[in-house]
Structure 1
Amino acid sequence: MDYALPIAYALFLWWFSTGLIFYLDQLPVRTFKWSMAGATAVLGLSFYAMWSTADDTSRWAAYVSFSGGLLAWGWQEISLYTGFVTGPRKTRCAAGCSGWRHFGHAIQVNLWHEIAIILVAIAIAAMTWESANQWGLWTYLLLWSLHLSARLNVFLGVRNVSEEFVPAHMEVLKSFLTRKPMNLLFPFSVTAATIGAVLLFGEAFSAEADHHVTGYSLLAALMALAVVEHWFLMLPLPVEKLWHWSLPARRNAAKSRKPAPPKFDYTTLKTNPTP
């Protein structure tokens, strides 16, 4: 239970919070102000959770700090996909746009979002600097690095771009999703994530203090999820089924990946019967 409970907790919190964000960002636009207000309140609570447990080395404090870091990251996700914190560019790229020019347009679409990520990271680091309990900070930084890796891979090209997870009002993001069998970054990304997961599990299994066992187990679970998520980018699996409950308006998304087989046209046979 020393390892199983934090791993299960990390998996559940990641799965549920991700599904909740998917659910909120496909609701009517008029609800977004309330979603952002609630998410901002949760962000404030996450700051308080990490600050108040910064010097606490109990097992419970590791859970609280980890949860704070993950929920702070959730604010970044919901602020982007509701369209509140995006970037100065609001239009899709024209056909034929590629290379560094295309990459520059991608940065423009997400610029304010990326700046917000940095500002929140600085705030968390400031409130937990040189503290005994920094699991929230490491959680946030880990999610940031994994998010960046996944987005770069999707930009460069993957088999499974999961367009169904992009809400209709953020259609501009779809022009930066590239479908390819492979890209040069992917092998390095998935290898680095795998090594990171092994190292974190190793730290968890070798740790003696309960606080470290819990903290490293939580981070290791997230890193293992990152390995799975990266492989999801390359394998044509129905990923949306993991959050079927949170996508009521997009439940037929999986069907859109494979075009329907052509149907035989019987019109000619009916109008020109064989003698």
Structure 2
Amino acid sequence: RFSHAVAAVAWHEVALALSAAGLIWMSRDAPNQVGAMAFALLLAMRLSTKIAIFLGVPNMSTDILPPHLGYLKSYFGKPRLGLELYAAIAACLALAAWLAAIALAAPANSADAAGASLLFALAALGALEHLFLALPLRDGALWGWALPTRHAAN
């Protein structure tokens, strides 16, 4: 199951990793590296979410997948609340807290404060994304109005 799941997304992940490496390399001497850091943070959060879904999360809404992507369901783990998800949520919250401390310690109205605040917000949203995988909230109920089959029935 792992090799098939990796084969399904490997080229996308390689392209994103190369993009992150290129951004980091291009901004290595720049005074403002927030863009590269934000991209790398979002990439890390994305990978963490994908690994959590592969290992199994209690709330994985597969009802919003279009029929032609139904095969992806076979790559998702069994619904469970494992230690990995707790660890991922804790790591995201710890990162968000660390970035919040940096933002609060930066001089007011400075570029450092703005950059750290942006990174804090992205890390906090990543923690929220991981938390939504654990909470019994259905994405299908939230986004059902936008699904073509339900939209056409209205």
For the superposition of Structure 1 and Structure 2, which TM-score range results when normalised by the shorter chain?
Answer: 0.7 to 0.9
1:151 aligns to 2:50 (yes or no): yes
CA distance in 1, matches of 2:60, 2:34: 31
Cα separation, partners in 2 of 1:152 and 1:216, compared to 1, 3 Å: same
* Equivalent-residue separation in structure 2 for 1:248 and 1:166 (angstroms): 9
Q: CA deviation at 1:150?
A: 0.7
Q: 2:33 aligns with which of 134, 148, 151?
A: 134
Matches within 5 A, 1:116-127: 116-127=15-26
Report the alpha carbon displacement of residue 174 of structure 1 after superposing the two structures with TM.
1.4
1:228 pairs, out of 128, 137, 142, with 128
Give the structure with higher Rg (CA).
1
Match of 1:216 among 111, 116, 135: 116
Q: How far 1:110 moved relative to its partner?
A: 1.1
TM-score (norm 1): 0.50
* SS of aligned partner of 1:181: coil
Aligned residue among 149, 156, 163 for 2:62: 163
Is there any run of 5+ residues in structure 1 with no aligned partner, and where? 1-101, 253-275
Name the structure 2 match of 1:270.
none
Distance between the aligned counterparts of 1:244 and 1:132, measured in 2? Answer: 45
CA-CA distance at 1:241 after TM superposition = 5.6
- The 1:170/1:248 distance shift into structure 2, 3 A limit, reads closer
Q: Report the RMSD for the aligned CA atoms in angstroms.
A: 2.0
Residue by residue, what CA displacement relative to the aligned partner does 1:130-155 show, whole Å, maximum 9, x if unpaired?
21111111111111111111111111
- The percentage of counterpart residues that share the same residue type is 35
**Conserved 8 A contact 1:232-1:239:** no
Residues 64 and 147 of structure 2 are in contact (CA less than 8 Å); yes or no, is this contact kept in structure 1?
no
Does the 8 Å CA contact 1:125/1:137 hold for their aligned counterparts? yes
Matched residues in 2 for 1:138 and 1:124: separation? 9
SS in 1 for 2:32: coil
- The amino acid that maps onto 2:43 is W
Structure 2 counterpart SS, 1:151: helix
Distance 1:137 1:242, change over 3 A: farther
What TM-score, normalized to structure 2?
Answer: 0.86
